[in-house]
Amino acid sequence: MSVALPTPGQTVGPFFRYGVEFDAWNELAPPGRAGAIRVHGVVRDGAGTPVPDALLEIWQADAAGAIPAESGSFHRDGSTFTGWGRTHTTDAGEYEFFTLEPAAPFIAVAVFARGLMDVLHTRLYLPGATDAFLESLTPAERTTLVAERTADGLRLDITLQGDGETVFLAYR
Partner 1 sequence: MTELTQATISDEIAQRHADYEARVAAGAQRLHAPFLDFDPYRSSVLRHPTKNPKLVDPETIELESPAFGHRDVADVESDLTAQHSGEPLGERMVVTGRVLDGEGRPVRHQLVELWQANASGRYVHQRDQHPAPLDPNFTGAGRCITDGDGVYRFTTIKPGAYPWKNHVNAWRPAHIHFSLFGNAFTQRLVTQMYFPGDPLFPLDPIYQSIPDRAARDRLVAAYDHDLSIPEWSLGYRWDIVLTGSRSTWFEPEGSEA
Instruction: Tell me the torsion sign for CA atoms 80, 40, 125, 53.
Output: positive
Q: Cβ closer to partner 1: 57 or 96?
A: 57
110 binds partner 1 (CB under 8 A): yes
> By CB under 8 A, which span of 34-42, 67-75, 92-100, 146-154 interacts with partner 1?
67-75
Q: 1 to 60, contacts with partner 1 by CB under 8 A?
A: 1-20, 45-47, 49, 51, 57, 59-60
**105 burial class (0-12, 13-18, 19+ CB within 10 angstroms)?**
middle
CA distance 6 to 141: 30
Q: 143 to 162, contacts with partner 1 by CB under 8 A?
A: 160-162
Q: Cβ closer to partner 1: 20 or 63?
A: 20
**137 burial class (0-12, 13-18, 19+ CB within 10 angstroms)?**
middle
Q: Cβ closer to partner 1: 96 or 144?
A: 144
